[in-house]
Amino acid sequence: MEKAIIKSVDGPVVIGRNMADYKIREMVLVGEKKLIGEVISIDGDLGTVQVYEETEGLKREEEIISTGAPLSVKLGPGMIRGIFDGIERPLEVIKKEHGSFMPEGIGLISLDEEKLWDVTFKVSLHDKVHQGQIFAEVPETDIITHKVMIPPGINGEVVEILENGKYNIETVLLKVKDELGKINEVKMYQNWPVRIPRPVKERLPIDKLLVTGQRVFDVFFPIAKGGTTAIPGGFGTGKTMTQHQIAKYCDADIIIYIGCGERGNEMTEVLEDFPKLIDPNTGKALMDRTILIANTSNMPVAAREASIYTGVTMAEYFRDMGYHVALMGDSTSRWAEALREISGRLEEMPAEEG
């Protein structure tokens, strides 16, 4: 099979040749710098890739390498207090190692693989376990206990398990033997494709109030736990400030704040304010229950499109543990703008979502 090569580059959109065997939504590494991209269409021999990094310097005839997997995020201890970009790369770690500007081709780094976490097991040898069952607990922050779950699709008997102790996320914590005799290794984290919803058993009725801490909303515009709401308004009318207030004072267990195409100065305010704030519900630091995804308007437009999916996948993961999660997407209009921009570069009609 001939290797896939770049035919043309148009901003974040790369057209490749010899891509008939690639799959839609597959993650690929583009060019000599191995930029992260995703296959979004295949037409005969030609494939279209949207690249999540700056494409300056890419040349024709450079190789496009398949990873064989869709764009996925790591879900495990280390997410809370984290500040990530749109594809879950940790911005603070990147700043320490590479300075204030993100270099191209650093790969899909995410959670810290070296840090040791204190693991307490909730199951024993020869116990029967099923998908979604909590088998261990890890104190992630002073407020949030990370409940480590059996990944979807794994059911069976525990045939090997470690003692309580300190382990990193790459350690195999237990092995589960299914009905067919296959041994599945279970670690502290799960890999999950961002565009596939996590499985659910049932949809619970929406009957509890999300107390936002803003009396005018709680009285006149109540928001339900499990519901959604939009904050429409013109430029400079306070949409972002309203979201900041809800993120600071609402009674959700975990806050996931996605700055999707936000202005850099607005996101800076969040990044500077939140670490200093005390959570009125617990008396602890607000960041002890917060995840920030910063994909500002000067970052690659394709990663902006992915950032909402990344945040939703994280929220679903904590929902599966039984936590109430408040997800803020700021703003959906700039997300739609990203969809339109990619559609324009593909020379097609803008997506109906945009």
Helix 239-249 × helix 264-273 angle, to 10°: 20
- pTM, two decimals, is 0.91
Q: What pLDDT, on a 0 to 100 scale, did the predictor assign at position 286?
A: 87
pLDDT tens digits, one per residue of 124-143: 999 999 999 999 999 999 89
Q: Give the burial string for 212-237 (b: 16+ CB within 10 Å, else e).
A: bbbeebeeeeebebeeeeebeeeeee
The CATH topology of domain 117-188 is OB fold (Dihydrolipoamide Acetyltransferase, E2P) (2.40.50)
pLDDT for residue 353: 54
Pairing of strands 223-224, 209-210: antiparallel
Residue 259: predicted pLDDT:
87
Reported as a single tens digit per residue, the pLDDT across 306-323 is: 899 999 999 999 999 999
What does the H/E/C string look like for 299-320?
Answer: CCHHHHHHHHHHHHHHHHHHHH
pLDDT of residue 324: 95
CATH superfamily, region 72-111+200-341: P-loop containing nucleotide triphosphate hydrolases (3.40.50.300)
Each domain of the chain, given as residue ranges in start order, spans 5-70, 72-111+200-341, 117-188
Q: What is the pLDDT of residue 30?
A: 95
As a whole number of angstroms, the distance between CA 211 and CA 295 comes to 28
Q: Which CATH code, of 2.40.30.40, 2.40.30.20, 3.40.50.720, 2.60.120.480, is assigned to 5-70?
A: 2.40.30.20
CB distance 16 to 5 below 8 Å? yes
Amino acid identity of 267? M
pLDDT for the residue 265:
79
> Within the chain, which residues score under 50 in pLDDT?
none
